[in-house]
């Protein structure tokens, strides 16, 4: 629901781990695959413009048969200047995308037998940076928007007291009729003021959409930005178990379970956005029957996402 083109299972991507093994027996196979994904429309040499298929050198370059110019296969991708084999990267991507809840750094360290936790952590974060597709469309139609609190020691609480040590995550989800959800977007916000919440909606939801919210005043200005706001005020309903925003409520519950379960709650505030991106990537592709398709989508985005410097990852510089 989030992507265009139609890759062919078993040909464009492996469907099972057995196929994965057959797809990627060595570095050369990995380079060819990355080349195919990166230059989907066919490679053309930037030196002479010729479209003849280049040969792949042992050092990982495409060598133009006509003008001899060499083009790095990994430069400008997540794998740029990596010291690890592509095959290891691909395996990590397979583990992240083939498991329903993804992979944790600790789990990855164990499976790959890495001596350092940091290595696994860095790989996962680099891949998370590739999970947001540049230029993705904004949500549209009927969209529920609400905030939730993540992390900290206190549970529950909405807007205000008890929330001091928690991070606030704004969530928007498309509501389908008669039931079901479409795509989701989420982002950490500093507070629940209109200055934080309205830009969240403007950045991620198309103007003209109907925004469903509760009665919170932070959303009052939405009308000035071309949205129709439909308010549901919780205190108007007699049922104490009623939730005003069932879509957001459900997603927030799943998100928290994932953070606590897969990642043992060990997510610091400055890295929270990266985890939200991974969660969103998986949620918005939940209807992909073949897990291998998710691997392919991540590969497509990894092939077009520049590398993130380690210090930006550690510092939590999300847009770095």
3-state secondary structure (DSSP) of residue 276 = helix
Judge contact between 91 and 112, C-beta under 8 A. Answer: yes
- Least Å distance between CB 135 and Zn ion? 29
Looking at beta carbons, which pairs linking 135-138 to residues 24 or more positions away fall under 8 Å?
A: 136/2, 137/206, 138/203, 138/204, 138/205, 138/206
Category of 141 on φ-ψ map: left (φ > 0), alpha (ψ -120 to 50) or beta: left
List Cβ neighbours of 14 (8 Å cut-off, separation of 6 or more): 20, 22, 23, 94, 292, 295
Q: Is 315 in the site for Zn ion (CB under 5 A)?
A: no
Q: Is 47 in the site for Zn ion (CB under 5 A)?
A: yes
- Measured from the CB atom, the residue of 50 and 114 that comes closer to Zn ion is 50
Q: Is 45 in the site for Zn ion (CB under 5 A)?
A: yes
Piece in contact with Zn ion (CB under 5 A), picked from 3-11, 41-49, 141-149, 232-240: 41-49
The DSSP-derived string for 95-127 is: HHHHSTT---HHHHHHHHT-S-HHHHHHHHHHH
Q: Is 69 in the site for Zn ion (CB under 5 A)?
A: yes
Figure out which of the listed residues 22, 40, 66, 176 binds Zn ion, where binding follows CB under 5 A.
66
Q: How many residues bind Zn ion (CB under 5 A)?
A: 7
Q: Is 64 in the site for Zn ion (CB under 5 A)?
A: yes
CA dihedral sign, ordered 115, 117, 118, 123: positive
How many whole angstroms separate alpha carbon 302 and alpha carbon 218? 36
- Measured from the CB atom, the residue of 63 and 158 that comes closer to Zn ion is 63
Phi, psi of 187 (to 5 degrees): -160, 145
Figure out which of the listed residues 48, 260, 269, 314 binds Zn ion, where binding follows CB under 5 A.
48
State both tokens at 266: 């060990």
Judge contact between 163 and 192, C-beta under 8 A. Answer: no
Q: Is 67 in the site for Zn ion (CB under 5 A)?
A: yes
Residue environment code for 269-292, b if the CB has 16+ CB neighbours within 10 A, otherwise e: eebbbbbbbbbbbbbbbeebebbb
- Measured from the CB atom, the residue of 67 and 233 that comes closer to Zn ion is 67
Pairing label, strands 167-175, 181-189: antiparallel
Of 214, 215, 218, 182, the closest CA to residue 200 belongs to: 218
Piece in contact with Zn ion (CB under 5 A), picked from 5-13, 57-65, 197-205, 222-230: 57-65
- Least Å distance between CB 30 and Zn ion? 24
Piece in contact with Zn ion (CB under 5 A), picked from 62-70, 82-90, 172-180, 192-200: 62-70
- Least Å distance between CB 66 and Zn ion? 5
Q: Is 65 in the site for Zn ion (CB under 5 A)?
A: no
Binding mask 159-198 for Zn ion (x = CB under 5 A): ----------------------------------------
Q: Is 44 in the site for Zn ion (CB under 5 A)?
A: no
Piece in contact with Zn ion (CB under 5 A), picked from 45-53, 111-119, 150-158, 203-211: 45-53
- Least Å distance between CB 81 and Zn ion? 24
Interacting residues with Zn ion between 194 and 233 (CB under 5 A): none
Positions in the binding site for Zn ion (CB under 5 A) = 45, 47-48, 64, 66-67, 69
């Amino acid at each position: 629901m989030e992507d265009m083109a139609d890759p062919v299972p078993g040909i464009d991507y492996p469907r099972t781990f057995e196929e994965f093994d057959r797809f990627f027996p060595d570095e050369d196979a990995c380079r060819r695959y990355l080349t195919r994904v990166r230059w989907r429309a066919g490679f053309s040499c930037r030196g002479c413009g010729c479209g003849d298929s280049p040969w792949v050198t042992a050092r990982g370059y495409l060598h133009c048969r006509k003008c001899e110019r060499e083009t790095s296969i990994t430069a400008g991708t997540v794998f740029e200047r990596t010291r690890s084999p592509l095959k290891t990267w691909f395996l990590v991507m397979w583990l992240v995308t083939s498991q329903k809840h993804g992979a944790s750094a600790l789990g990855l360290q164990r499976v790959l037998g890495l001596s350092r936790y940091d290595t696994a952590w860095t790989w996962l974060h680099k891949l998370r940076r590739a999970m947001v597709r540049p230029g993705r469309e904004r949500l549209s139609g009927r969209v529920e928007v609400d905030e939730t609190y993540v992390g900290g020691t206190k549970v529950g609480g909405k807007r205000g007291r008890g929330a001091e040590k928690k991070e606030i995550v704004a969530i928007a989800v498309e509501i389908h009729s008669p039931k079901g959800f479409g795509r989701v977007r989420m982002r950490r916000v500093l507070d629940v003021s209109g200055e934080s919440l309205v830009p969240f909606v403007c950045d991620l939801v198309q103007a003209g959409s109907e925004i469903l919210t509760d009665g919170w005043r932070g959303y009052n200005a939405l009308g000035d930005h071309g949205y129709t706001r439909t308010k549901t005020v919780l205190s108007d309903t007699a049922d104490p178990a009623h939730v005003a925003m069932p879509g957001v409520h459900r997603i927030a519950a799943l998100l928290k379970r994932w953070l606590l379960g897969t990642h043992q709650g060990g997510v610091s505030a400055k890295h929270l956005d990266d985890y939200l991106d991974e969660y969103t990537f998986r949620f918005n592709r939940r209807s992909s029957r073949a897990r291998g398709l998710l691997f392919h989508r991540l590969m497509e985005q990894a092939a077009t996402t520049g590398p993130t410097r380690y210090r930006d990852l550690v510092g939590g510089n999300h847009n770095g």
